[in-house]
């Protein structure tokens, strides 16, 4: 018992002395090739509350940080030593040749900031080949007894289970399969990424999905655990599994290409055979690239007036709670479009409000479901209208023009007419003149008319008539000038409000800021999907509104051409298109919160630069 208490006392005293110093070191390979990936490890002896990678010129981060920790306690001559190790690993990919210095990473431990050592790396043109000399994966228990085992001392010093290149080129394949090769613009197609393997796979190290340029894309749900089946391809039998499925809608006509997809795996291969224990195995890398797939997209017939690019089958309905309301009482009109098709090309319905009404921005609600049968569901716009005068008002019908694939013709669906009865109440005339912001109509209140005063008016003869004074004519001329100025300004404002494209251009920055604010909320909630959808919508929406490009013609090539027509710097234009590619790629790949923050900052900055450039 006394020895046990002594050991406990020594342990507590020793542990209290281990928090004196913090070590923070980084290491990485000294030489890599262009396009080759490497791991950078940062090791601390205390657990940090946060860690941040420094500047990495010549490289791009493709993964990390992955975390691991270990601890050990040793007692030598009654002296106890405890060691804790925390390792953070980042995966970087070399971009260009040269000699680069990776700045030290920063970590915060117990409120104190520490910086690791910098790391020098040389990037050469050719990839660095790893040594393939390694030991076999089996152990001979009779080696020491007979003195002639199969493993030499030099082999025992080499690490086990290192990858080796012993996989045939057709042992692991990846293919991009489209459900249709010929389709119409806006028609849905299913794109499946399928894995074929003729050997045992240990893990999937990296998967890069294809880029869907000129497509609107929705990722479909697939099983988290791969479900394998048998299939024959080119006379060879494979185990196959579906990696990803996408629902795509082409935005342009012509030969539209889906880019390549790439995968890197680790496979288990036979390395030899032991006379007693049977086959021995090693791990070997395997990779494959899915060839690009080209779809033939046919253009739609001559587009009628009001067509915004909706393709499928849709219905439209109107819902409003009251037909009769009072002046200054808000009424809500809900326009719902339901059915199946490319909802992304449906623009907000337009209600023709008379000048006696004020109309506010609609609230949009979507209930959409993407399946292998297509995109179906409904989308609702909730309009709030406030009448300022009494009467009966017919706001007309709300229509939607779409292309029906079944009949190969354009169809129009409409709601019933929107009729609103507005009743007057006490004091309505005065209230109307106060709240009317769209017209210059003046309403006379009966209380403004007074009876004639019959008493003594105390009139006195002036020395000269007012009309002969200079002040009178100055006032008259000033009022006339002011009236003319007001008429010109009001006509300009009315004309400006009638120019819908101009209003969109002027409000493009404001609308994009609202969407960025919404994206920031998703980022704070760590909602990866919601964040990238808002960022992509903000970028496409800004380009469409600012450059007056309809949604059906909103492509990267059209955006770049429009930027060039507005004398936008070519490098800034290319940066904007690259940012959209980056966001669309990140939409389908999990990312850390610091990546979302970087993309948010980059989006905010490029929109501000475009605003300054296009003034």
DSSP 70-87: EEEEEEETTEEEEEEEEE
The answer to which of 100-109, 126-135, 227-236, 511-520 has the lowest mean pLDDT is 126-135
Distance (Å, whole) CA 415 – CA 397: 6
Give, as one character, the DSSP assignment of residue 356: T
Using one digit for the tens of pLDDT, what is the confidence trace for 76-89? 455 556 677 888 88
Residue 503, pLDDT above cutoff 70:
no
Residue 603, pLDDT above cutoff 70:
yes
pTM of the predicted structure, to 2 decimals: 0.45
Distance (Å, whole) CA 322 – CA 337: 21
The alpha-helical segments, DSSP class H, found in 422-527 are 428-435, 470-498, 500-524
CATH of 307-423, picked from 3.40.50.300, 2.60.40.740, 3.30.70.120, 2.40.110.10, is 2.60.40.740
Mean pLDDT of 542-565: 81
Whether residue 94 contacts residue 35, with contact meaning beta carbons closer than 8 Å, is answered with: yes
CATH of 2-124, picked from 3.30.1490.20, 2.60.40.10, 3.30.310.10, 3.40.1080.10, is 2.60.40.10
Q: What is the pLDDT of residue 443?
A: 46
Q: What is the pLDDT of residue 380?
A: 93
Q: Which of 522, 556, 553, 521 is nearest to 539 (CA)?
A: 556
Mean pLDDT of 361-382: 90
Mean pLDDT of 4-15: 48
Whether residue 99 contacts residue 58, with contact meaning beta carbons closer than 8 Å, is answered with: no
Q: What is the pLDDT of residue 132?
A: 36
Q: How confident is the model at residue 426 (pLDDT cuts 50, 70, 90)?
A: low
The answer to which of 149-158, 175-184, 208-217, 360-369 has the lowest mean pLDDT is 149-158
> How many C-beta atoms lie closer than 10 Å to residue 193's C-beta?
20
Q: What is the pLDDT of residue 238?
A: 92
> How many C-beta atoms lie closer than 10 Å to residue 32's C-beta?
21
Whether residue 90 contacts residue 44, with contact meaning beta carbons closer than 8 Å, is answered with: no
Residue 196, pLDDT above cutoff 90:
yes
Torsion of CA 49, 54, 58, 62, to 10 degrees: 10
Q: Which residues contact 330 (CB under 8 A, 6 or more apart)?
A: 384, 385, 386
Higher pLDDT, 140 or 373: 373
Q: Which of 189, 199, 259 is nearest to 220 (CA)?
A: 189
The answer to which of 71-85, 252-266, 296-310 has the lowest mean pLDDT is 71-85
Q: How confident is the model at residue 130 (pLDDT cuts 50, 70, 90)?
A: very low
Mean pLDDT of 381-400: 88
Whether residue 287 contacts residue 263, with contact meaning beta carbons closer than 8 Å, is answered with: yes
452 - beta bridge partners?
none
> How many CA atoms are closer than 13 Å to the CA of 439, on its beta-carbon side?
15
Distance (Å, whole) CA 418 – CA 401: 19
Percent of the chain with pLDDT strictly greater than 90: 19
Higher pLDDT, 196 or 142: 196
The CATH code of domain 172-298 reads 2.60.40
Mean pLDDT of 336-341: 93
> How many C-beta atoms lie closer than 10 Å to residue 111's C-beta?
6
Mean pLDDT of 129-137: 41
Q: What is the pLDDT of residue 278?
A: 63
Whether residue 385 contacts residue 438, with contact meaning beta carbons closer than 8 Å, is answered with: no
Mean pLDDT of 600-605: 86
Higher pLDDT, 519 or 244: 244
Mean pLDDT of 89-93: 85
Q: How confident is the model at residue 464 (pLDDT cuts 50, 70, 90)?
A: low
> How many C-beta atoms lie closer than 10 Å to residue 318's C-beta?
17
Q: How confident is the model at residue 225 (pLDDT cuts 50, 70, 90)?
A: confident
Q: What is the pLDDT of residue 190?
A: 94
Q: How confident is the model at residue 609 (pLDDT cuts 50, 70, 90)?
A: confident
Mean pLDDT of 484-499: 78
Give, as one character, the DSSP assignment of residue 488: H
């Amino acid at each position: 018992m006394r020895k046990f208490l002594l050991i406990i006392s020594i342990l507590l005293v020793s542990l209290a002395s281990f928090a004196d110093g913090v070590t923070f070191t980084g290491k990485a390979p000294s030489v890599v090739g262009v396009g080759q990936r490497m791991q950078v490890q940062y090791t601390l002896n205390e657990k940090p509350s946060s860690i941040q990678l420094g500047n990495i010129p010549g490289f791009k981060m493709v993964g990390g940080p992955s975390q691991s920790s270990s601890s050990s306690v040793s007692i030598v001559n009654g002296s106890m030593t405890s060691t804790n190790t925390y390792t953070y690993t980042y995966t970087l990919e070399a971009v260009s040749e040269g000699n680069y210095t990776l700045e030290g990473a920063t970590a915060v431990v117990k409120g104190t900031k520490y910086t690791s050592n910098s790391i020098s790396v040389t990037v050469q043109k050719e990839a660095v080949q790893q040594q393939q000399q390694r030991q076999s994966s089996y152990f001979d228990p009779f080696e020491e007894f007979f003195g002639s085992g199969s493993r030499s001392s030099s082999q025992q010093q080499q690490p086990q289970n290192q990858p080796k290149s012993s996989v045939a080129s057709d042992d692991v394949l990846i293919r991009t399969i489209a459900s249709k090769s010929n389709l119409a613009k806006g028609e849905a197609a299913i794109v499946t990424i399928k894995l074929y393997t003729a050997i045992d796979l240990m893990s999937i190290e990296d998967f890069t999905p294809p880029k869907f340029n000129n497509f609107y894309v929705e990722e479909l749900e697939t099983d988290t655990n791969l479900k394998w089946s048998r299939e024959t391809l080119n006379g060879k039998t494979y185990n196959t599994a579906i990696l990803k499925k996408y629902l795509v809608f082409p935005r342009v006509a012509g030969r539209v290409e889906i880019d390549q997809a790439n995968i890197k795996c680790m496979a288990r291969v036979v390395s030899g055979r032991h006379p007693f224990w049977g086959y021995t195995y090693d791990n070997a890398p395997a990779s494959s690239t899915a060839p690009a797939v080209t779809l033939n997209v046919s253009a739609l017939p001559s587009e009628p007036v009001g067509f915004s690019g909706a393709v499928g089958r849709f219905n439209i309905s109107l819902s409003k709670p009251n037909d009769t309301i009072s002046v200054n009482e808000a009424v809500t009109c809900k326009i719902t479009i339901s059915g199946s098709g490319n909802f992304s090309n449906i623009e907000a319905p337009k209600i023709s409000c008379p000048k006696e009404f004020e109309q506010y921005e609609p609230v949009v609600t979507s209930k959409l479901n993407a399946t292998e049968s297509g995109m179906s569901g409904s989308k609702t716009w909730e309009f709030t209208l406030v009448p300022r005068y009494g009467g009966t008002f017919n706001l007309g019908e709300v229509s939607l023009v779409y292309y029906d694939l079944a009949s190969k013709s354009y169809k129009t669906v409409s709601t019933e007419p929107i009729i609103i009865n507005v009743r007057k109440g006490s004091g309505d005339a005065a209230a109307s003149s106060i709240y009317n912001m769209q017209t210059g109509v003046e309403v006379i209140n009966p209380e403004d008319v007074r009876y004639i005063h019959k008493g003594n008016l105390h009139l006195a003869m002036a020395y000269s008539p007012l009309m002969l004074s200079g002040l009178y004519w100055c006032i008259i001329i000033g009022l006339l000038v002011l009236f003319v100025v007001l008429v010109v300004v009001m006509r300009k404002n009315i004309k400006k409000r009638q120019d819908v494209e101009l209003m969109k251009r002027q409000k493009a920055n404001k609308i994009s800021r609202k969407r960025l604010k919404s994206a920031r909320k998703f980022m704070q909630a760590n909602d990866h999907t919601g964040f990238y959808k808002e960022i992509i919508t903000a970028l496409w929406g800004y380009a469409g509104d600012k450059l007056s490009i309809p949604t059906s013609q909103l492509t990267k090539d059209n955006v770049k051409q429009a930027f060039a027509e507005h004398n936008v710097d070519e490098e800034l234009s290319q940066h904007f298109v690259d940012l959209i590619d980056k966001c669309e790629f990140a939409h389908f790949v999990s990312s850390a919160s610091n990546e979302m923050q970087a993309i948010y900052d980059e989006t905010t900055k490029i929109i501000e630069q475009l605003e300054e450039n296009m003034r």
